[in-house]
Copies of this chain bind each other. A is one copy, B any other.
Amino acid sequence: MFEEKKAEWLRIAESLKPTLRRETVRPVSGIPDHSLSENESIVLDFGNHFVGHFTLRLSSQGSHPDAPVWLAVKFCENARELNETLDGYTGWISKGWVQQEQVHIDVLPAIFSFPRRYAFRYVKIDVLALSSKYQLVIEDASAEATTSADDSVPPSIISDEKDIAIDRVALRTLRNCMQDFFEDGPKRDRRLWLGDLRLQALTNSVTFRNYDLVKRCLYLFAATADREGRISASLFTEPKVVADDICMFDYSLFFIQTLLQYIQATGDQATRNDLLPLALHQLVLADEQFDPKTQLIRDSDKLSWCFVDWELRLNKQFCAQAIWIYCAQAAWQMKADPVLKDKIRLRKEAARKYWYDQERHLFVSGAERQVSWASQVWAVLAGIAEDTDAASCLDAAAVCSDIVPMVTPYMMHHYVEALCRIGRKAQARQVIRDYWGAMVDKGADTYWELYNPENPDESPYGSPVVNSFCHAWSCTPAWFLRSGILKENA
């Protein structure tokens, strides 16, 4: 499907590849005023989170250097990473993501530019070896920081001091994920994921307004759809543009929502006309997952068949059905197809009929009728729960003791969106202050991939050392604060 279009879609995507803005930045503290001996250690603090290439200008004191300098250099997004090590690492994603290097420098003085790009605020340098005849002098340390975001963000009407701080960190998060494309996180995975893109594009529309970058990413996904026309969950751009082999039910569907947002923000009808058939085709492909008799989606044990949240216990059957409805409604906004409207209605009714526990006022999911926060939130967002039911399922969730919790800022975004939808603006604002505000209080320059107030060590990967601390899907407070959605009458 769409094979004949893909070369042109890729060409369009590549023609929109941004020129990165480059800025030379220097640490605000940590450059020692003395020369360093073997086993000494320093921490440079750049004062904010940056993405870029790091350079050391080194010289020596004492005799002429008669042996190589051997340094361990660690780049940390977050102060807590400074003291973490990979000793005994048991996580299940690659420890190759941890930003630590060992380098030898044969000749001093030297300007040593690290070849890789890092995401960091802090740089820890351990002098692993020198000879006893000389000491190392750090003459200068700098980074060439990059972003494709234009810092001319529209002035906001935010006046509350805490909200200003929350917004600032959100902007920094989005900005530092904006490189050649919208990256999920500049430390990890440095990749274009559809679930992240959707929230980035949303926040971009009220901040950097780099719509070409959104368009580029939409076309990248279009150009890498598989032979059946299925859009993958993520894609690689290096060494060439190619889809990842992960497809996720919800992420493929979110292409529709992301396209709609883009068209609403830009009025770009050419892109609408070009990509709408592919977007609508995602609904057709999703139909394979539904039981035509019951209009219920089939469940799956496969962890990543549908993402929803980084909560390994979560049963995703109900959310998948709700997300289909949510995205089908977005499709309907772009093309008012009466057959689709009918299907939406049937699947809403089926979901409500099978999965609404009227006594408990809670939506359940899966054969074991699991109760989760995610199900309640998506019931509201998809309009499966309407009117008073919507409010009562959120209220019931709040007092349910054995409910599967939300663990990512990504899921928290949907919770806040659900609160807004039922008109609980003050509560939505409070959730932002409590959840994202707590990261700010803990010193975040950018928002984290994961934040569980009750367990700061939480990681879906088995170890927090591989967590990302500047993660795209966490940037949406700027959207809530700037879009006007939090206003009582919005």
Contact = CB atoms under 8 A, between A and B. Distances in A.
Contacts of A244: 63-64, 66
Given A64-B242, A101-B102, A69 B92 contact: no
Contacts of A67: 93-94, 96-97, 188-189
Contacts of A101: 102, 104
Contacts of A116: 104, 106
A334 to B, nearest CB: 31
Interface stretch (A124-132, A276-284, A350-358): A124-132
A429 to B, nearest CB: 37
Interface in A83-110: 92-97, 101-102, 104, 106-109
B107 A238 contact: yes
A236 to B, nearest CB: 5
A398 to B, nearest CB: 37
A70 interface: yes
A94 B106 contact: no
A236 B129 contact: no
A349 B273 CA distance: 106
A94 B68 contact: yes
B92 A132 contact: yes
A470 B38 CA distance: 27
Interface string A231-268: 00000101100101100000000000000000000000
Contacts of A188: 67
A191 interface: yes
B109 A96 contact: no
A94 B67 CA distance: 6
A420 to B, nearest CB: 35
Contacts of A129: 94-96
A68 to B, nearest CB: 4
A69 B108 CA distance: 29
Interface in A114-165: 116, 128-132
Nearest to A236: B64
A40 to B, nearest CB: 14
Interface in A6-56: 38
Interface of A: 38, 63-64, 66-70, 92-97, 101-102, 104, 106-109, 116, 128-132, 188-191, 236, 238-239, 242, 244-245
Given A68-B97, A92-B132, A95-B129, 4 more contacts: A66-B236, A67-B188, A96-B130, A106-B238
21 contacts: A67-B94, A67-B96, A67-B97, A67-B188, A68-B96, A68-B97, A69-B96, A70-B95, A70-B96, A92-B132, A94-B129, A94-B132, A95-B128, A95-B129, A96-B128, A96-B130, A96-B131, A101-B102, A106-B190, A107-B239, A108-B239
